[in-house]
């Protein structure tokens, strides 16, 4: 039985969430249609640009994303603290970047004089918008509905573009975040449509690489909605990804080498015992499994068994799916 989104998201436990949207019947509605040979690759640009735009509007930033031919992966970080500091004007400005708002909110932003009663109504409306601007459900809704309308207009048809609901997975600790980011960024490589880091088109890692190579140029605006890595600009704490970009890139390169190598036993040990996996506490025999099967091994919560039990308690659940893979992949240190 489907669970409500509210029961799957607990910002008190974690601000990080892995979200997946799939095209109906898993059709290649954003890639090349194998039946007709017609290319819809340009729609990947639509999705990527919309993701980065929404990150500039919502109090939600992006850790990583990958736009594939028939599905989209995105890891989001909800910034509740920033949203709560937004006053009425800031909130309305952000909302009006996507939607028209109401006649009163339009008048307010135009500086037209309002009555006391109208000011109260505007403040009440802004409160609703502020909640929506820190909501993962509203973020994904504004992504999926926009792309569906645009694609249907191009195809001159109506009907569903995406499956009914997007899937979300709470990432409860740093190891879950690292494994899931590697899983997302390497999606094109595992699918056989990329051979190097610079071939990982329509992924966040390629945007970050291009921005690093073109400082002060075109690519920089794209990174504004991306969560910075730990070493970036001296920012620490929850506002960063808790490891460096260089170490993460090295990890992705080693993962690529491992995937294409036949010497799996040696590679598993060398992959884990060098760099981030070892630092983060992964065993040699679990890292590859964690970053390759993390989506399918877990339901809506990913992390150690201890963090999952805390999530269970805070969300008042009777049972928690995924305890066995949690113990196997995230509980035992190197």
User: Over the stretch 284-306, which tens digit does the pLDDT of each residue have?
Assistant: 778 888 888 899 999 999 999 99
The pLDDT score that the predictor gives to residue 165 is 82
Q: How many CB atoms lie within 10 A of CB 123?
A: 13
* Helix and strand element counts for the chain (H, E): 16, 7
For the chain, the domains span: 12-82+136-331, 87-132
The reported pTM is 0.91
| Closest to 226 measured CA to CA, from 291, 212, 197 | 212
Tokens of 237: 């704490």
Give the list of residues 6+ apart from residue 61 with CB closer than 8 angstroms, or none: 55, 76, 77, 79, 225, 226, 227
The pLDDT score that the predictor gives to residue 332 is 65
Sign of dihedral through CA atoms 315, 179, 63, 160? negative
The pLDDT score that the predictor gives to residue 214 is 76
Can you point out the beta strands (E) in the chain?
A: 16-22, 60-67, 71-78, 167-171, 228-229, 240-241, 301-302
CB-CB contact of 16 with 75 (8 Å): yes
Q: What are phi and psi of 48, to 5 degrees?
A: -60, -45
User: What does each C-alpha distance from 242 to 61, 235, 239, 312 come to in angstroms?
Assistant: 15, 10, 9, 24
Can you point out the beta strands (E) in 141-180?
A: 167-171
The pLDDT score that the predictor gives to residue 21 is 92
Tokens of 7: 């029961």
Q: How far apart are CA 244 and CA 241, in angstroms?
A: 8
List of the chain residues with pLDDT < 50: 1, 233, 334
User: What does each C-alpha distance from 64 to 30, 34, 176, 179, 249 come to in angstroms?
Assistant: 19, 28, 13, 12, 13
The pLDDT score that the predictor gives to residue 234 is 53
Q: How far apart are CA 10 and CA 47, in angstroms?
A: 26
Q: How far apart are CA 98 and CA 54, in angstroms?
A: 8
The pLDDT score that the predictor gives to residue 334 is 47
CB-CB contact of 300 with 172 (8 Å): no
Q: How far apart are CA 177 and CA 304, in angstroms?
A: 11
- For the chain, give the mean pLDDT: 86
Q: Estimate the share of the chain in helix, then strand, then coil, as percent rounded to the nearest 5.
A: 55, 10, 35
Q: What is the pLDDT of residues 100-143, one digit of tens each?
A: 999 999 999 999 999 999 999 999 999 999 999 999 999 999 99
Tokens of 235: 């920012």
| Closest to 242 measured CA to CA, from 224, 226, 228 | 228
Helix (H/G/I), strand (E/B), else coil: 8 = helix
Tokens of 159: 């009907």
Q: Which CATH superfamily is domain 12-82+136-331 in?
A: Transposase IS200-like (3.30.70.1290)
The pLDDT score that the predictor gives to residue 35 is 62
The pLDDT score that the predictor gives to residue 1 is 46
């Amino acid at each position: 039985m489907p669970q409500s989104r509210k029961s799957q998201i607990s910002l008190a436990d974690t601000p990080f969430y892995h979200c997946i949207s799939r095209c109906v019947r898993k059709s290649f509605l954003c890639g090349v249609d194998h039946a007709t040979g017609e290319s819809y690759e340009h729609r990947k640009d639509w999705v990527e640009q919309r993701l980065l735009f929404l990150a500039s509007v919502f109090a939600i930033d992006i850790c990583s994303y990958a736009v594939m031919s028939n599905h989209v992966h995105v890891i989001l970080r909800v910034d509740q603290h920033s949203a709560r500091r937004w006053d009425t004007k800031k909130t309305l400005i952000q909302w009006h970047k996507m939607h028209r708002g109401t006649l009163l909110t339009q008048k307010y932003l135009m500086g037209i004089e309002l009555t006391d009663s109208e000011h109260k109504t505007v403040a009440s409306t802004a409160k609703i918008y502020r909640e929506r601007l820190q909501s993962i459900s509203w973020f994904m809704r504004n992504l999926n509905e926009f792309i569906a309308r645009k694609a249907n207009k191009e195809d001159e048809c109506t009907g569903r573009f995406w499956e009914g609901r997007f899937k979300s997975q709470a990432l409860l600790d740093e190891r879950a975040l690292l494994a899931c980011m590697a899983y997302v960024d390497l999606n094109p490589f595992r699918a056989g449509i990329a051979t190097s880091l610079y071939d990982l088109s329509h992924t966040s890692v390629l945007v970050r690489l291009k921005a690093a190579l073109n400082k002060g140029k075109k690519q920089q605006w794209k990174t504004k909605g991306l969560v910075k890595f730990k070493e970036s600009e001296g920012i620490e704490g929850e506002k960063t990804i808790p490891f460096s970009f260089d170490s993460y890139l090295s990890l992705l390169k080693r993962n690529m080498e491992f995937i294409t190598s036949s010497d799996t036993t040696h590679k598993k040990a060398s992959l884990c015992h060098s760099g981030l996996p070892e630092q983060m506490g992964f065993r040699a025999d679990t890292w590859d499994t964690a970053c390759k099967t993390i989506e399918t091994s877990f339901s809506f919560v990913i992390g150690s068994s201890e963090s999952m039990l805390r999530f269970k308690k805070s969300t008042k659940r009777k049972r928690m799916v995924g305890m066995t893979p949690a113990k196997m992949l995230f509980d035992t240190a190197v």
